[in-house]
Structure 1
Amino acid sequence: MTSFIYQVLNDLKSKGFNLSDVSFVLPSRRAGVFLKKELSTLVQKNIFSPEIISIESFVEELADLKSISNTELLFEFYTVYTKITPLTEQEPFESFTKWAQLIIQDFNEIDRYLIPQKNIFEYLSAIKDLDHWSLEANQTPLISNYLKFWNKLYVYYQKFTSHLKLKNSGYQGLIYREAVNNLENYIQNTKKTHVFLGFNALNTCEETIIQELLQNELGYTYWDIDKSFVDRKYHDAGLFIRQHLKTWKYFKNNKLNWLENLYETKKNITVFGVPKNVGQAKTVGTILKELSKDQIKNTAVILGDENLLLPVLNSISKKIEAINITMGFPLKSIPLASLFEQLFSLQINNQSKYYYKDIIAIINHQYTALLFDPSNVKKITNTINTNNLIYLTKEELIETIENDKNIISLLFTDWNNNVDNAIESCFKLISVIKDKLVEDRKANQLGLEYLYRFNALFNEISSLNQKFKSLNSISGLYSVYKELLSSETLDFQGEPLQGLQVMGMLESRVIDFETVIITNVNEGVLPSGKSNNSFIPFDVKIEKNLPTYKEKDAVYTYHFYHLLQRAKNIYILYNTETDALIGGEKSRFINQLELEGIHDINHKIIAPKINVKPEKLLTVPKTKSLIEAIKNVALKGFSPSSLTNYVRNPIDFYNQKILGINTLDEVEENVAANTLGTVVHNTLEALYIPLKGHILTQEHIKGLFPKIDEYINKFFKEEYKEGLINQGKNLIVYEVAKRYITNFLNFELEQIKKGNKIQIIDLEKKIENVYINIDQLDFPIKLNGTVDRIDVCNGKTRIIDYKTGKVEQKDVTVVNWEDLTTDYKKYSKSFQVLMYAYMLNKKTELNFPVEAGIISFKNLKSGFIKFAKKEKSGTNNKDFDITEDTLTEFEIELKKLIIEICNPEIPFTEKEIKNDY
């Protein structure tokens, strides 16, 4: 394959040019490396290297202004802004940057396209005056400030550009405009031959410069374009070249250098539809594996999305030894970036105490964890979980550990919203981590490189702050940090002309490859789609000949087709899983290739091979040692909850009762349902204990109301530890608990008013050491449990279980006794209340008939919901009395359940649990 650059050099040589005297102007610095390479293959003798320069550097020379970074531009603009804006109207730096970046972009566009500045700003101001929504004669302050902003744009422009020129610096557009202003003087004083090669979309300044040099016979242009793109008037790849041919005076008497017919030559084009970015990275690796060493030397992987860089590198076979990466790795994707993100978040949200999740995230970060004794990290986490601490001070953290207090102090000292303190803390942290990493320098080379780059980044921030003194808050510092971080990259080192080339789309300009692999060819990525980050309305841009998204799309169309122009083997990858944030359906570029009908497109959909394994429910055989463990559990005692837990899922019973695995202690940020239940139970017990043995009166109940707050506060403190109950969702839960207790007391009061005689027999009654004889088992079985309340209502004993959840009559109604031990969802509550009655009868011999049931705080209108035995399904005949016969029937089912648990032939088998359980 003969490259475009080689063709240009060969043409110049054949026309007798001394290549050493030519000044080559290229779209990018990257292209200059390839130009030197092609020059070395063409020239057979030693020559002085010609001047090779990018268009940006060439324009800077013309303008005699230096370009400065976007971040420094923001500081310079803020300096101007504060000088011309009254102190009472000035915005802080972090607010200013949100709109100033857009304004600088617009200044840039206006200057690059040589739009009369005053004209467009007055035009914009007039439009906004017409557009504003208030029709009142006397404008509100909001409308007044809104219009004042638009009226100030020209003033901002004038003062800002004058300020920059005094410092011999500027943004790109200003530099371009000044270059055009200096062009006539440059032409009169230069004898250089300028060769512009590989350009396509040009702004007005670039067009003016190139045309003037052409007209004065000081320049030549070589356009890297295919005839088929120029001839087809609707093909966007040739949009700009067609415009140049139509509008440039030079082309009235001169031909285009040059048009070729390369695109329509035979090509092997394969389009892969691949799910997700990782799938594309893996596919790139597979394609590369199939290429020979010679093919790899002339292959480029073009990444449509820079975030694909690491996955692609990890997918490339180790057999490919030489890889040149022209795009840097974004500094924001480095692990160290997440640490500083967390620290800034901690300080910005700081309200004298730190949120526990932020604390845990910071002390467990891979870089800070190196600084701690591992036992201290565990100690802090355990203290937070055990005491339910949601917010902590630095002092409270220090108290939890014996050493490493200096690290805690470094990480969690309040920066006091002071920028100097913040920068100093960041430097100290970098230094401490560096000291730890240099202990094993060889193993931590990459980590040390990360630290160096972040140290340089904070040095730049510090330098800017000392120079401009514009930062006066952590929020402002954070906005600058993010701005710098987003533009900084970690550059790779390597031989630029050797091996596989991995690059972004814009870096491929003027460079040709035989094999091209392009990723992320999706709408929203290639092309990037409709976006208008500008204060200038779309219709104004059209009128003033400023570029819109259509021109931007045409730029990417040209780059895409340029990659295909000379290539022989082309692999195009797109994401089949549409994502509104990253990219949509496959790109129009692919559809266009298919509709053109010029090339045969091999379209494949790649899907990962998924081996579907049937889900196996866990089964645990009962070994001898396991049977012994079950015997120990039986000796300690089965409770109603443990037995219903077995009915629900035998594996849960095995984990909790046999293995002793309980849920981990975690911070209960919002009050959990079980905590609410415990608080309600304990409060009722505390309220009613003085009334134990008494027949309740109205005066008794009325005397309990004033004590509700005291007891609820006490038990929330006991159960919820240091958790906050006076704000957010927890305050609602606290009020719900009060409402439950109040409603219950009102319910009790109503029962007494109706003439019911209620006598409290016992509260939170512990029933222990209840033995049950089972003939099939040769070891004793013990039952234990706690009944919430036992009372006598109108002469009949009631066994009551409190539930904070909703319970209805159907939940404590049984038709078939066998169902008690098979259907957890329907019959677990019936099982529990019957077991309480059974154990009480074993312990004290109840005076039958008795009643057992539930009081549901969410269904208090139903009152005491009694257990009922229904004769058969479909009838309403229910027996609410529990007799000896009832308990005999229950005992049969209870024994069957315990025999099953203890049966060595029946393993613990997992059940599929539905979500509504």
Structure 2
Amino acid sequence: MISFIKSVLIDLQNKNVNFQELTFVLPSKRAGVFLKHHLSSLLDQPIFTPQIISSEEFVEELSGLQNLPNTDLLFRFYETYKALTKEEEQEPFESFSKWAQILLQDFNEIDRYLIPQDHIFDYLNAIKELDHWSLESNSTDLVTNYLKFWKSLKNYYASYTENLLASKQGYQGLIYRKAVDNLEPYMEDCSGKNHVFLGFNALNSAESKIIQGLLKNDLAHIYWDIDKAFIDDNVHDAGWFTRQHRAHWDYFKTKPFNWVTETYSTPKNIQAIGIPKLVGQAKYIGQLLTDLTQKETKLSSIAVVLGEEHLLLPVLNSIPSTISKLNVTMGLPLQFVPLASVFEQLFVLHKNNPKEFYYKDVVSVLSHPSIYPLFETESGNVSVNLVAHITKNNLVYMGLSDLKKLVTEHIDLIEFLFQSWQDKPLIALKNCSTLISRMKTNLDGDKKNHSLELEYLYRFNTLFNQLSELNTAYKYLNSVSALQTIYKELLSSETLDFKGEPLEGLQIMGMLESRVLDFDTVIISSVNEGILPSGKTNNSFIPFDVKIERGLPTFKEKDAVYTYHFYRLLQRAKNVYILYNTEIDALKGGEKSRFLTQLEIEGQHEIVNSVIAPEVPIIEQKLQEIVKSDAVIEQLKVFSAKGFSPSSLSNYIRNPMDFYFEKVLGIKEFDDVEENIAANTLGSVIHNSLEDFYKPLEGELLTLEHLKTFKEQIKITVTKHFKDLYKDGDFTKGKNLIIFEIAQRYISNFLNLERDSLKAGNEIKIIAIESDESINIEIDGLDFPIRLKGKVDRVDQFNGVIRVVDYKSGKVEQNKLEIVDWEDLTTDYTKYSKSFQILCYAYMMRQNKRVELPIEAGIISFKNLNGGFLKFGKKESSGSRKKDQLITNETLDDFEVELKKLITEICSPELNFIEKDLTK
């Protein structure tokens, strides 16, 4: 295959042109490297390199204007806006920038297509006058301001362009318009100089006029890269622009329209491959490259064309290790660099100038991989300790002074990160630059290779220098929020560029970088609707019908541009792999692209369709089993000596693996900040408050006077225990205040229940409150000490009958405290865990001879107070209404059998810990 560039050079050589006198104008800079390479292969003696420039560079040279970056243009436009707008009507820069970006894009389009400015702005104003929604003779302020905006557009444009031209600067559209104005004098001065335009397709009016002018005066050659299959098909979008040029350019009325090739019809291996998700495509590209390199395919003839720039990093990580040379022509946007999130988090932290910071924002900054190393000390890391303290003490909001009190080292760093920016961009910029310096110093002091991290720091240092220069020059950034807007704008446009050898190795590029270049094997990713082509986006103030009437580009032209690029990649290729995402994502792209459907319908090439899914091994859901090694048995002996609690035994009944992880391995649940008061905290507050009330009454009868006193002390007592348990957490507002009120209501309702019981003539004597119980148990077959321990919430005497009472802050129903078969007690956690716990308490109290049987044992549920004291009961059968609610020696003897059986199962070396399937 002869590439397009080489075929152009051969044609020029056959025409005996002097290459040294040529100026090659290309759609992109990248194509210039390939042009030089092909030119060198055709020459048999050295020559001076001809001038090779991109179309943007050529037009800039022709206009005599300097192209300004978007952010500079925005600031210059705000300068114009302020000069033309009354001070009381001026918008702050932050809100101005949101609509000004769109307006600048419209100015750009109007100038690139040489639309008479007065005409289009007057036209727009007239349309808005006609279709505004107010029918009142006297317009409201809203309507007046709305119409004033459209009337002002002409003045904005005139003043803005005048200021730019005065300083010999401009945006792309203005440069194009000025270049057209300068075309005649340029052509007079460039006698003997010849221009070669190659590989162009979609041309704006200014480009079209410039090229036609040079052609007409025999100062240029133009080479189209279009195939007969596209240009001769009147409805094929790939040839839409070239058909327009052929039909409407005066030059082609007398000159032939050459350079229509027939390479698209050559045999091709085209595969359309559906793959779920972006990462799936990246991994499959890696697999494809492995297969291709094993076939000894020349790497430089393979191009990976990425439809989405997000895919660059996953693809780079998926390239097989056998590929040692590659060239990435698309830059990595700075917004995807890990370091970007540091400054984003700092902006989030400081932009509203808060007096106190939300804990998640603080933890995000302290734990960020780029900041975390700055807190290193000889003994550990200050950041770790600080985050642990915030978590443990439920610090939801905290100020700088609070944070400084919590550390003894790196206080200066804490002050630097969390000192208020006072909503001043100058302070923000200075702090961000200083942070970069600190990070660099830290990396320089490390012996490891941090070349990539240092490159990131350099690019961000450059970015903040740009922001500082803009802020110094224009002084329009009057808040951190406005600075963040411009920071994001720069972040999305700036890239981290890669260095590589463009003529060697695998080529990775975006769709636009592929212009004019040809490859034998092409892999195109993300060929989905909404991505390729990009869809019906209309980021403009100019209505669609006005664009049609004035010849401005719409989404239809944009689709035609993408169609051309897509088909041009296929034109000379032999192997084409088209990848698309099978998972429809409404935000990033929908179903497979219409380009694929069009390829199939055209029928010129056979398309091999397939859907690829990653190999997901079928993992058998095997319940985990832990063999009780000698080390495990030793740990069980230690734990047995300390004592089994009813809750730990219940935990084993629920799932032996939970017991193993928590009690044998000592693994604790991850502690997080209790932003809202947790259920266990609420339960502890209720228990502790009732202990404060009832503990002094041990051995006494409960009276109505006692209950009256308790009710008066509810708020004070509950507040005290919330402060003890919730540490520095705030419970004066929001959900926490509701939970605080609920705790008081639960206790108040319980005291009302007690009051009603006394008023009904019942006698209640308090025997013990929060009584610590522990007993030793001897079990046949186990030759080490075993203890059972627990804390009984309350033991009282109700009309002469002793009751063992357990408080539950959740909801418990009576049927959860009734059993039929004793064996179920230690096997069914869901139904019988409450019964098991209260029987444990009764059993310990009998063994310690603290009570005389028979007794009652049960639960008071604070979410089911209407149920009163819910008693344990033994029934003959599940349908029986008859139940024995008195706990006798016989009851506890039966329970003892099951208890010992359970502890034997836990401690026996022969019985492993086997996970329970909790999904059933």
The verdict on a shared fold, with TM-score over 0.5 as the criterion, is: yes
- Range that drifts further, 126-135 or 358-367: 126-135
CA drift at 1:849: 4.1
Cα contact 1:331–1:485 (8 A) shared by 2: yes
How far apart are the structure 2 equivalents of 1:802 and 1:133? 66
* Structure 2 residue 506 is matched with structure 1 residue 500: yes
* Structure 2 residue 878 is matched with structure 1 residue 873: yes
CA 1:628–1:53: 2 relative to 1, 3 Å: closer
Cα contact 1:772–1:783 (8 A) shared by 2: yes
| Matched position secondary structure for 1:547 | coil
* Structure 2 residue 426 is matched with structure 1 residue 423: no
Structure 1 counterpart of 2:58, which letter? F
CA drift at 1:821: 0.5
- Give the equivalent residue in structure 2 for 1:386: 392
Deviations 1:115-143 (A, max 9, x none): 23333333333444444445455544444
CA 1:159–1:692: 2 relative to 1, 3 Å: farther
- Give the equivalent residue in structure 1 for 2:653: 647
- Give the equivalent residue in structure 1 for 2:111: 111
How far apart are the structure 1 equivalents of 2:625 and 2:554? 65
CA 1:12–1:391: 2 relative to 1, 3 Å: same
How far apart are the structure 2 equivalents of 1:115 and 1:757? 98
- Give the equivalent residue in structure 1 for 2:683: 677
Cα contact 2:353–2:421 (8 A) shared by 1: no
Given the alignment, which residue of 888, 892, 899 partners 1:883? 888
- Give the equivalent residue in structure 2 for 1:288: 289
Deviations 1:12-68 (A, max 9, x none): 332333232222222111122222222222233333332222211222222221110
* Structure 2 residue 352 is matched with structure 1 residue 352: no
- Give the equivalent residue in structure 1 for 2:203: 202
How far apart are the structure 1 equivalents of 2:831 and 2:787? 26
* Structure 2 residue 95 is matched with structure 1 residue 95: yes
CA drift at 1:199: 1.0
- Give the equivalent residue in structure 2 for 1:55: 55
How far apart are the structure 2 equivalents of 1:775 and 1:447? 65
CA 1:534–1:731: 2 relative to 1, 3 Å: farther
Structure 1 counterpart of 2:625, which letter? T
CA drift at 1:461: 0.9
CA 1:386–1:166: 2 relative to 1, 3 Å: same
Deviations 1:78-117 (A, max 9, x none): 1112222222222222222111111111111122122233
* Structure 2 residue 28 is matched with structure 1 residue 28: yes
CA 1:322–1:776: 2 relative to 1, 3 Å: closer
- Give the equivalent residue in structure 2 for 1:319: 322
How far apart are the structure 2 equivalents of 1:164 and 1:414? 38
* Structure 2 residue 10 is matched with structure 1 residue 10: yes
How far apart are the structure 2 equivalents of 1:863 and 1:533? 67
How far apart are the structure 1 equivalents of 2:867 and 2:122? 74
- Range that drifts further, 183-192 or 636-645: 183-192
CA 1:162–1:662: 2 relative to 1, 3 Å: same
Deviations 1:596-621 (A, max 9, x none): 21112223333222223323333223
Cα contact 1:328–1:489 (8 A) shared by 2: yes
- Give the equivalent residue in structure 2 for 1:595: 601
| Matched position secondary structure for 2:339 | helix
Deviations 1:857-901 (A, max 9, x none): 222222222222233123333333333332232222222212222
Question: Matched residues, percent identical?
Answer: 57
How far apart are the structure 1 equivalents of 2:212 and 2:875? 99
Structure 2 counterpart of 1:88, which letter? E
Structure 1 counterpart of 2:348, which letter? S
* Structure 2 residue 703 is matched with structure 1 residue 702: no
How far apart are the structure 2 equivalents of 1:349 and 1:687? 46
| Matched position secondary structure for 1:311 | helix
Deviations 1:257-295 (A, max 9, x none): 221111011112222222322332232223223235562
Given the alignment, which residue of 615, 619, 622 partners 2:625? 619
- Give the equivalent residue in structure 2 for 1:857: 862
Query: Which structure 2 residues correspond to residues 756-835 of structure 1 after superposition, within 5 A?
Result: 756-768=762-774, 770-835=775-840
How far apart are the structure 2 equivalents of 1:298 and 1:778? 77
| Matched position secondary structure for 1:571 | strand
* Structure 2 residue 336 is matched with structure 1 residue 333: yes
| Matched position secondary structure for 1:662 | coil
**CA RMSD in angstroms, aligned pairs only:** 2.3
TM-score normalised per structure 2: 0.95
- Give the equivalent residue in structure 2 for 1:342: 345
| Matched position secondary structure for 2:304 | strand
How far apart are the structure 1 equivalents of 2:550 and 2:470? 36
How far apart are the structure 1 equivalents of 2:297 and 2:662? 63
How far apart are the structure 1 equivalents of 2:132 and 2:885? 74
Deviations 1:553-586 (A, max 9, x none): 1111100100110111222222222222322222
Structure 2 counterpart of 1:282, which letter? K
Structure 1 counterpart of 2:900, which letter? K
CA drift at 1:855: 1.8
How far apart are the structure 1 equivalents of 2:632 and 2:572? 73
CA 1:836–1:135: 2 relative to 1, 3 Å: farther
Cα contact 1:336–1:450 (8 A) shared by 2: yes
- Give the equivalent residue in structure 2 for 1:459: 465
- Range that drifts further, 293-302 or 674-683: 293-302
Query: Which structure 2 residues correspond to residues 723-742 of structure 1 after superposition, within 5 A?
Result: 723-742=729-748
Cα contact 1:288–1:296 (8 A) shared by 2: no
* Structure 2 residue 454 is matched with structure 1 residue 448: yes
Structure 1 counterpart of 2:336, which letter? S
| Matched position secondary structure for 2:767 | strand
- Give the equivalent residue in structure 2 for 1:120: 120
How far apart are the structure 1 equivalents of 2:253 and 2:115? 26
Cα contact 1:222–1:256 (8 A) shared by 2: no
| Matched position secondary structure for 1:789 | strand
Structure 2 counterpart of 1:277, which letter? L
Structure 2 counterpart of 1:823, which letter? D
CA 1:392–1:557: 2 relative to 1, 3 Å: same
* Structure 2 residue 151 is matched with structure 1 residue 148: no
Structure 1 counterpart of 2:338, which letter? P
CA drift at 1:218: 2.9
Number of aligned positions between the proteins: 914
Structure 2 counterpart of 1:162, which letter? E
Cα contact 2:627–2:913 (8 A) shared by 1: yes
Instruction: Specify every segment of 5 or more residues in structure 2 that has no aligned partner in the other structure, as ranges.
Output: none
Structure 2 counterpart of 1:827, which letter? Y
TM-score normalised per structure 1: 0.95
CA drift at 1:252: 2.4
How far apart are the structure 2 equivalents of 1:628 and 1:34? 73
CA 1:634–1:4: 2 relative to 1, 3 Å: closer
Cα contact 2:299–2:504 (8 A) shared by 1: no
CA drift at 1:691: 4.4
* Structure 2 residue 401 is matched with structure 1 residue 395: yes
CA 1:780–1:217: 2 relative to 1, 3 Å: closer
How far apart are the structure 2 equivalents of 1:454 and 1:624? 56
CA 1:625–1:195: 2 relative to 1, 3 Å: closer
- Give the equivalent residue in structure 2 for 1:362: 365
How far apart are the structure 2 equivalents of 1:718 and 1:97? 50
Deviations 1:803-832 (A, max 9, x none): 121211222121222111100011101111
Cα contact 2:352–2:423 (8 A) shared by 1: no
CA 1:904–1:149: 2 relative to 1, 3 Å: same
- Give the equivalent residue in structure 1 for 2:553: 547
- Range that drifts further, 366-375 or 125-134: 125-134
How far apart are the structure 1 equivalents of 2:281 and 2:663? 48
Cα contact 1:295–1:515 (8 A) shared by 2: no
* Structure 2 residue 287 is matched with structure 1 residue 298: no
How far apart are the structure 1 equivalents of 2:701 and 2:556? 86
- Give the equivalent residue in structure 2 for 1:564: 570
Cα contact 2:330–2:497 (8 A) shared by 1: yes
Instruction: Specify every segment of 5 or more residues in structure 1 that has no aligned partner in the other structure, as ranges.
Output: none
Cα contact 2:353–2:422 (8 A) shared by 1: no
CA 1:857–1:350: 2 relative to 1, 3 Å: farther
CA 1:852–1:126: 2 relative to 1, 3 Å: farther
Given the alignment, which residue of 739, 750, 769 partners 2:756? 750
CA 1:355–1:886: 2 relative to 1, 3 Å: same
* Structure 2 residue 71 is matched with structure 1 residue 71: yes
Deviations 1:439-462 (A, max 9, x none): 357712222222221111111111
Structure 1 counterpart of 2:421, which letter? W
Deviations 1:643-665 (A, max 9, x none): 11110111222233333332243
